[in-house]
Chains A and B, each alone.
Chain A
Amino acid sequence: NAGVMQNPRHLVRRRGQEARLRCSPMKGHSHVYWYRQLPEEGLKFMVYLQKENIIDESGMPKERFSAEFPKEGPSILRIQQVVRGDSAAYFCASSRGHGVAGNEQFFGPGTRLTVL
Chain B
Amino acid sequence: DTGVSQDPRHKITKRGQNVTFRCDPISEHNRLYWYRQTLGQGPEFLTYFQNEAQLEKSRLLSDRFSAERPKGSFSTLEIQRTEQGDSAMYLCASSRGQGATDTQYFGPGTRLTVL
Note whether A and B form a binding pair. no
Binding site for B on A (CB under 8 A): none
